[in-house]
Structure 1
């Protein structure tokens, strides 16, 4: 049975179209995916991401455990900063991708994907050593994402605790009287914030933000726009561009694998994983059609790969996808075909991200 986030009643009252997702009941859209997508690109949007998982590592050996569990290196991470990483199996395949927030030398918040929360918590707890504990605080925490070029203008009306830099956060923040962790992060390709608060405070936070953003064009957004935005920005989604069968190098995320640090889970396998024989590429549809996940990719008559994610991008105005193909087809300009329900759709390999905001 699907669970409800603390904001479920807010979504229903606002006319959100509720669908099951990763074990939760969440709005897929309010005013429409295209309208919500464009609001985030041109003004701002507000998302309920309370389904995400929050785990806390504590203890004097917390850092050593992080570095053993994750591919990235957290040795030089400063308090108040966040860092993305992958967590791998011994095989080099990916358990999950996640963000770590350093709250102190002995306390780290790990934010994981909703569908993987229980799996991740079990994996981490089974691999802890020394003086370190893990607590799953997901049920007590709500999270909203305020995203878009006007996000700071909206938040500034309610808060003086605004993180200045990307991937920084304020642990003891406040939003119009509501205690919150305020982080300058997001999953849309835009500037914005992810705000964590007590579950009981979430409805009030949601309504305060919407009211503050009314004149800035802020609207509530659902899962549909969240997916089109992340794809347009070339961001991976676990179960699509990442999985137990896809390693970080195939996913073109090698920058987050620090092979020069001491041993970590999956390191031995990843040392043998390069050069890769296949890798993720971006595809632009050059004729009519929209490509979707699981569609087969062809070079002429030969099936060479599969689409991991695909959609029509409202802001760019054309259809794109990400696909896993042999490395000989990775170069921009390479012509490929995608089988969409028996019809071959013409595509061209292009660089990702498809969209990148002006700095």
Structure 2
């Protein structure tokens, strides 16, 4: 089990630690509902240093990224980031990721912790053009400072005007006394804020100063449990739940990051699927009655026939109702469609809704 540079800090704060993607990670501190509400209403800080980081550089960097990624990275200028995915050769997804253009010929790819080795092997396998690749995952830490008060709470820690960094843009600048951090207006919560990339040797200083600067704004450390409820309220996909090697980006509602203005791995088949409309689609649903949908529960029709499976589900801390996502036949994917979630012996009625669940 690997530790992040802050694992001991989390334990000292009384965090409940769990194994996650091979790392010893904090799942909660005070409780998921308190931490969730902190991010929605004030500001919270997550240690997500388990995420993977690859540098792709050199004159052929863009060519490689264009080949392995579904989104069009030629649109990126220095200081911009882009959500994307690695399609596989059989219609599924190797991983989803964020691509940062750090310099003219250098890109940072941020991938899921559970897929670091798989992604690294995948990119190297397709690097026929000789782009320079470096796996820096073991050297860098990542903090997510999320919530509507994030800008105000953190401005004292940087000479950069944090309010000027637009969504999916980033700046390399000073933060918490560290000169060269990436301050990125990205996140996985839907409540705004930043993600801060720094070296492992620097992250304890950053963490301590973030908590100190945010004290007057009600900042709290937040664990992975609330990270999951926050992202689910936004309808954001989680790799391993809602997307995987068997789900296509078109089925998963990720057509917006799948650009057919260029060739990429399996692009022809995905383009064909988009034009034909896939047989199944990932939808969001809310329970009409009491209950909590969980990953793996069957989705059934009015006659009790299985038509799909819940990929993510929870009791929403913000909306106080059971909600989730899952794949259903395309004919039942329109908002307003009625489905049922099999919760033990009961088929609980539910309604397909337009994402996100949480409107802010």
Scaled by the length of structure 1, the TM-score of the pair is 0.97
Distance 1:86 1:280 in 2: 16
Q: How does 1:166-185 map to 2 (within 5 A)?
A: 166-177=167-178, 179-185=180-186
1:323 to 322, 326, 330: 326
**Aligned match of 1:297 in 292, 296, 299?**
299
1:178: how far off? 5.1
Note if contact 2:178-2:202 (Cα within 8 Å) is conserved in structure 1: no
1:191-226 superposed Cα distances (whole Å, 9 cap, x missing partner): 110000010111111111001101101000000000
Unaligned runs of 5+ in 2: none
How many pairs align? 355
Q: Is the 8 A contact 1:180 1:195 kept in 2?
A: yes
Mapping 1:61-72, distance limit 5 Å: 61-72=60-71
Structure 1 residue runs without a partner (length 5+): none
Structure 1 counterpart SS, 2:157:
coil
Specify the SS of the correspondent of 2:273.
Answer: coil
Q: Structure 2 CA distance, aligned partners of 1:174 and 1:189?
A: 23
Q: Deviations over 1:220-254 (max 9, x none)?
A: 00000000000001100001111111000100110
Aligned twin of 1:89: 88
- Mapping of residues 78-227 of structure 1, within 5 Å: 78-161=77-160, 162=162, 164-177=165-178, 179-227=180-228
Q: What are the superposed Cα offsets for residues 117-143 of structure 1, whole Å, 9 maximum, x if unpaired?
A: 110011001111224111100000000
Alpha-carbon distance, 1:330 to partner: 0.9
1:310, 1:92 → 2: CA distance? 25
- Aligned partners of 1:306 and 1:174: how far apart in 2? 44
On the 8 A contact 1:17/1:29 being kept in 2, the answer is: yes
**Cα deviations by residue, 1:161-186 (Å, 9 ceiling, x for unpaired):** 23520111112443334531110100
SS of the aligned residue for 1:273 comes to helix
Moved segments of 4+, more than 6 Å: none
**Pair 1:248-2:258 in alignment:** no
Separation (CA, whole Å) in 2 of partners of 1:98 and 1:269: 21
Root mean square deviation, CA, Å: 1.1
The residue number in structure 1 matching 2:265 is 265
- 1:298-326 alpha-carbon deviations (Å, 9 max, x no partner): 01121100111000111112110001000
* Secondary structure of the structure 2 residue equivalent to 1:119: helix
